[in-house]
Amino acid sequence: MKTEPKVIVISGASSGIGFRIAQRLGREGNTVFAGARKDADIEHLSKMENVTGIRLEVTEPEDILALARRIESGPGRLDALINNAGMIGWGAVMERDLPYFQRVMDVNLNGAVRMTQSFYPLLRKSTSSPVIINMSSQGGTYAFPFWAPYHMSKWALEAFSNCLRRELQPFGIRVVVVQPGAIQSDAFKKGRSVFEQYKTDVHSDFHSRAVRLLQAAFENPARKEKDPELVVRDVLHAVYHKNSRLYYQPGRRIIPDLLAAKLPAKALDWFFRTFLREQ
């Protein structure tokens, strides 16, 4: 769908899915402000066509406000806000301290809240069906053991998105949720080394069961994961189409994601009890 160039902000664009979204949107002639934390990543982003790399840590209000002021004094409006910044969070509840939970929630949930509140005035100034796109996960629709921090943050992001959509409807601002499934992700690649250390360094009542379940995520062959281009495709559709879907689910796996989201709670409890039984 051909439209006039849009002004777009995307967080978490230093690599992976966020980088590819920023790159594609820039190539198509939009004005893209792409957030990253490291100088090298900011410089790399700024070398792309129509993309400006920006220092943007979503847990730092000063970074967000500085970007909002820059857009206010420049384009003067915002057509699409893509809340892509996120992190994984895993481990047994009894093994993780409260600051760990708080960090995951601050990035995955509170970051989106901060961004939305700060950029809302600029979205109101858009005349081209502005949209807020929140990058959630299939993990926002079910709950596996040993993934509590991640599931909590994504379930909360889903609730936030639903409430926000209904509040912003009268103002013509769309709210879209993207729920990637088994997509090749830098976050999981980076997490593998931490998981290898966890396997040898952590000892608890839950350790052996946690390792057995977490191996499916961290040691899953890449051939079973889908191309990130599926996410890029859905994000672009949401940006350009005023009648976009409310939810996009790129890269969904039938098993275990779909079953985990649809089976009765007692059936899932039985499955995990059986799967995690001491061997």
DSSP structure class, residue 157 = H
Mind listing the domains of the chain with CATH numbers? 7-185+226-259 (3.40.50.720)
Q: Write down the pTM of the prediction.
A: 0.92
The pLDDT, as a whole number, for residue 136 is 96
Q: What are the pLDDT digits (tens) for 87-127?
A: 999 999 999 999 999 999 999 999 999 999 999 999 999 99
Q: Kindly tell me if the per-residue pLDDT of 182 is higher than 80.
A: no
pLDDT score of 276: 87
Q: What Å distances lie between residue 116 and 11, 73, 112, 139, 190, CA to CA? A: 11, 19, 6, 22, 28
CB contact set of 138 (below 8 Å; sequence gap of 6+):
179, 180, 181, 249, 252, 253, 257, 261
* pLDDT tier for residue 45 given thresholds of 50, 70 and 90: very high
The single residue of 150, 198, 240, 248 carrying the catalytic annotation is 150
Q: Tell me the average pLDDT across 48-76.
A: 97
Residue 262 CB neighbour total at 10 angstroms: 11
Say yes or no to pLDDT of 63 above 60.
Answer: yes
Which amino acid does the sequence have at 116? T
Is-catalytic flag, 150? yes
pLDDT of residue 61 exceeding 90:
yes
Q: How far is Cα 24 from Cα 193, in angstroms, rounded to an integer?
A: 30
Sheet containing strand 51-55, edge to edge, reads 51-55, 31-36, 7-10, 80-83, 131-135, 174-178, 247-248
Q: What is the pLDDT of residues 184-195, one digit of tens each?
A: 666 666 777 788
Query: What's residue 263's pLDDT?
Result: 84
Residues paired with residue 177 on neighbouring β-strands, in sequence order: 134, 247
Instruction: Identify the three-state secondary structure at position 127.
Output: coil
